[in-house]
Chain A
Amino acid sequence: MDLLKDILYNTDKPWNQFYGWAHAGWANWGWPPFILDIIFQLCFAVIIAVVLILNALWIIYYDRKIAALFQIRKGPNRVGPLGLFQTIADTVKLLIKEDINPKAVDLAVFFLAPVFIFIPTFMVMLVIPFGRGLIPADLNIGILYVMAITGLSVIGILMAGWGSNSKYSLIGGLRSAVQLVSYEIPMMLVILTIVMMSGTLSMGGIVQAQAGYKWFWLPQIVGFILFLIAGNAEVNRAPFDLPEAESELVAGFNTEYSAMKFAFFYLAEYVNLFITSAIAATLFLGGWEGPLLPPVVWFFIKTYFVVTLLMWIRWTFPRLRVDHLMEFSWKYLIPIALLNMVVTAFVIKLV
């Protein structure tokens, strides 16, 4: 019973015991220790992959149900109880569909683009603190790693736009890329402000800096709002869904994609939504901290709170115009984020 409690609330302790025990046993076998470490790393990666898939299946269903709620309709309700298996059915359908390569595509680039878009979304999961000690690797450059790796998806989007040999794809890809880089800056500035307050880059350290319910959303309410706006733009969802504005660009950079390649774009979009929310929960809502319930449950409650907020925004606001979109970031978000940073610096030093 105590062990179960430890696993749920203090994952560090039983894990360190198990890790030491496993290494001791491994040493008896006479094998070099790094092989055991590699096995552990592979286990982490596979566990995260399973979490990512299950979570994506659920979040897509959840998004469709929320959309249905907002539009006073039923949403998916045929496959399985309450339509719960709808996403699984969709995935299977995409898996057995024909993979079409339109003529004159740049085959290597066309094939690699969905791979390049999926890789960053998976790799960012590495530093997300799901609970106390429940983090695949608490890198000492944690939040910088997040910024760097999410920046990579721009290359994948440009590859998709370029490789497709379609005008809609190219315009959608370029637009998407320029939007991503424009909204990356206010996000970075807000993250810098949080780093200033916590004095560390590690994700676990940022959660610890908020311990005792001194969550950063209250002192950083401006930053929190900026982060939500920029984050919403980063995941290309309404009101910032210009790269895939159906009425002008068909489907943006993934116009020519079909079957499993399309599925990876779709998967990446929803995983990105989850990651942005998880990082918002970590930076502003105290991560896994909370009373009574196990930390991991609190983490998911907070993350899904932000997810719901973003979905609410998505289904309520109309799409922005493209010139407004760019000016909104450069003329409003970035100056406000800079100002927020300077004011925070003054408050930290002078108060």
Chain B
Amino acid sequence: MVETLLFYVFAAAIVFTAVMMVLSPNIFHSAIYLALCLFGVAAIFAMLGSFFLAGLQVLIYIGAVVVLTIFVISLTRQVSGESDAQMGNILPAFLTAGLSTTLIILAVLKTDWNTMAGESVAALEKTNNVTLLGNQLISSFVLPFEVISVLLLAALIGAVVIVSKDAGENK
């Protein structure tokens, strides 16, 4: 009962902060709402017994991606105050968002997740799904594991290239 109640509290918080993130005229407030929204998602992960994912959600999405977002905000043209109104694009934006959301929901419903539905959260607190994940990562999923490092390398090189081009223009 408590868990159901908490789930709805967090779900409402996620929806509210997500909507506020989109509607807030101040871009910095949007970033803060994004952080709160992602925190709610981490709470949902923890309630589902996926504590490791919840930890990663906070570590990477809030601790790193939102911080990156804020640094990017401090680089934008109009840093402070209200952003330009972009109401002209609202219909295409709605269509794109709606379509992609529908696709994701359909994909989620169609996929056979092979879940551990029988496990209770209390049982998962005792066992350790990190060990399970680690064993999978070094046996069945070795190739994706290595490909991820290539992906990260590409991201790093991309960032360096973008910035050094900027430095060249300044000179």
Chain A residues with CB under 8 Å of chain B are 34, 106, 108-109, 112, 139-141, 144-145, 147-149, 151-152, 154-155, 158-159, 162, 170, 174, 177-178, 181, 184, 200-201
Q: Which residues of A contact B130 (CB under 8 A)?
A: 140-141, 201
Q: A129 CB to closest chain B CB, in angstroms?
A: 17
A109 contacts B67, C-beta separation under 8 Å? no
Between-chain CB contacts (< 8 Å), 30 pairs: A106-B28, A109-B32, A112-B32, A141-B52, A141-B55, A141-B130, A144-B55, A147-B59, A148-B55, A148-B56, A148-B58, A148-B59, A151-B58, A151-B62, A151-B64, A152-B62, A154-B67, A155-B32, A155-B35, A155-B62, A155-B63, A155-B66, A158-B70, A174-B74, A177-B67, A177-B70, A178-B71, A184-B63, A201-B128, A201-B130
Chain B residues with CB under 8 Å of chain A are 2, 26, 28-29, 32, 35, 51-52, 54-56, 58-59, 62-64, 66-67, 70-71, 74, 125, 128, 130
Q: B128 CB to closest chain A CB, in angstroms?
A: 5
Q: B131 CB to closest chain A CB, in angstroms?
A: 9
Interface centre among A34, A112, A147, A152 (most CB of B within 10 A): A152
With the chains together, A109 CA to B35 CA distance in Å?
A: 13
A140 contacts B66, C-beta separation under 8 Å? no
Closest to B55 in A: A144
Which residue in B28, B29, B32, B59 is a CB contact (below 8 Å) of A151?
Answer: B59
With the chains together, A108 CA to B36 CA distance in Å?
A: 14
With the chains together, A282 CA to B28 CA distance in Å?
A: 38
Total of A-B residue pairs, C-beta within 8 Å:
67
B32 contacts A140, C-beta separation under 8 Å? no
Q: Which residues of B contact A144 (CB under 8 A)?
A: 52, 55-56, 59
With the chains together, A162 CA to B67 CA distance in Å?
A: 13
